[in-house]
Amino acid sequence: MDFEAALISKVFYEADITKVFDERVKPELFVSYRNVWDFMLETYSRHGGLPPKEVIEQKYPHFEFVDARDVPFSFLSEEMKKRHVHNILTEAMKEQAEKLKGKEPFSALETMRDALMKADLEARPSFDLNFVEDVKERLERYDEASRSYGVTGIPTPWGCLDEVTQGFHPEDLIMIAGRGGVGKSWAEFMFAVHNWSNGFIPLIFSREMAVWQVARRLDALHAKLPYRNFKSGMLSSAELDRWENAIEEMKGGNPFWITGDDGDGHLGVTAITAKIHRYRPHVVYIDGAYLIQDDRGGKQQWERFSNVCQDLKRLAQRERIPIVVTHQFNTAGKGMDGSEDTLKYGDVQMWFDLIIGCYQSEELKGNKEMLFKIVKHREGEKLQWVSEWDLDKMKFELKKTEDDEDVPDPVPYDDEAPIKY
C-alpha cells in the first residue's frame, strides 16, 4: 500500500484534516507527494478547508486517489513515521560508515547521537485529555493531595517551598540559578539528599566536579560534617564516628546514583536518557546544565543551550520524572538582581516549570544565610525565603519567609533542633 496516497485520500474522503494533526503527521513524512500535501496545508491555512478533489487531480496529475476509507488514520501515520525514522537512521548509518572508514570514530559517534535524537523526536506521540471524562482522575489527585497535606510530588527540604509547589512532580523541569560560586551545587545536592532520605532514588549528573567530590559533599550533608574540616582530613573523633555510623546506616538503603564525565567530554541528552533507563531514578539532578552537549548540533552557544533545555523538558515529559538543573545568571544579574530575564545564554525560561534563584549579599554571607526566590513558577505563585546556610554545621533550616510587600517576623528557630533532610 502507498501510505502517502492512502493518507491524503482518507483526508479527502472524510473531509477532516484535524486527525492528521492529532497524529503529528509532519510534512517531512511525505516523500513522493510532499508537494500535494503542502498545497493541501496551504489551502487549509488560508481558507479553512480542503481544496476540491478535482483541483488536486488537475494540478498534480501524477497523484492518484486510492480507497482508504477502512484504514485507520493511526495506522497510516504510524507506518509513515516508521519509514521516516528508518530513513533517518539509514542515512546516519551510511554517514557513520564513511566516517569510520576515514578513522573518525568520535565524529561517527556524534552522527549517530544526532540521528537518534531526531528519530526519537519524530517517534514521540502527543497526548490529549477530555476534561469532561477526566473527573475521576482529578478527584483521585485531590484525595492524594489531601492525604499528604498538599505535597503530591517529591518533597523538598523546606515546607514553605512545598506549600507553594506541592513538591517536585513528574514532567517538571526545574532550574536552580545563581551567580558563580553562590552555592547552587550545594543547594542541588541538599535537595537530592533530602529526596533520598525520604525513600526516593536520585541520579546526579556532575559536569562541574568529579564524582568523588560530589560524593564527599553528599557525605557531609548526610552525616552533618563540617565541610572544611572534612575536606582537609581534620574531623574530630566524634565527627568521624558520626560519619562512620551514617555510612553504616546507608547499607541496604535505596540507591543513590552519581555519574560524571565519561572521559570523552560528551554528555548530551541522549546519554542522559541512557543513564535514566539504566538506573530508573525518581528524580534527576544535573549540576552545570550549560555544559551539557547539544545532540542537535546548534551553531551558537545560545542555540545549543536552548536545544538542551528543550530536549530536557521533553525527556522529563517522556520519562515522567522531575529534572532539576543548575545554571548561572548572566552579568546583568549581579548581586541580588538575578531573574528569569537575566539567565546566561539567552531566553530559555519558557522550557522551565520552576526557577529558583539563590542570592547571597555580604550581609547574608556574614550571617551564614542564603536568600531564595521563586523567580518563575508555571502555577504563578511566588515565594521568597531565607535559610540558614552554615557549611560548618551543615544547617540549612528555614529562618523566615518574605515577599515584596511584607516581611513577616522570622519563624521560631531552635539552634539545637535536629536537621531534617
Domains of the chain, residue spans:
3-123, 141-402
How far apart are the C-alpha atoms of 374 and 206, rounded to whole Å? 24
Phi, psi dihedrals of residue 152, rounded to the nearest 5° = -100, -5
- Tell me, what's the pLDDT at 207? 81
Per-residue pLDDT of the chain (421 residues; tens, 9 = 90+): 899 899 999 888 887 777 776 677 888 889 899 999 889 888 887 777 888 989 999 999 999 999 888 888 888 888 888 888 888 888 888 888 888 888 888 888 777 777 776 776 666 555 555 555 666 665 665 565 555 556 788 999 998 999 899 899 999 999 999 888 889 999 999 999 999 999 999 999 988 788 899 999 999 999 999 999 998 999 999 999 999 999 888 888 889 999 876 444 567 887 888 789 889 999 999 998 888 888 777 888 888 888 899 999 989 998 899 999 999 886 554 555 555 556 765 678 889 999 999 998 899 999 999 999 998 888 778 889 999 999 988 999 998 886 544 433 333 333 333 333 2
CATH class of 141-402: alpha beta
Q: Where are the alpha helices (DSSP H) in 152-286?
A: 159-165, 184-197, 211-223, 227-231, 237-250, 269-279
How far apart are the C-alpha atoms of 371 and 360, rounded to whole Å? 6
Cell output for 265: 567530554
- Tell me, what's the pLDDT at 409? 36
Q: What is the pTM of this model?
A: 0.66
- Burial class of residue 275 (count of CB atoms within 10 Å of its CB; 0-12, 13-18, 19+): middle
- Tell me, what's the pLDDT at 22? 64
How far apart are the C-alpha atoms of 146 and 166, rounded to whole Å? 11
> Do the beta carbons of residue 246 and residue 223 sit within 8 Å?
yes
How far apart are the C-alpha atoms of 206 and 286, rounded to whole Å? 6
- 190 Cβ contact list (under 8 Å, min separation 6): 157, 221, 396, 421
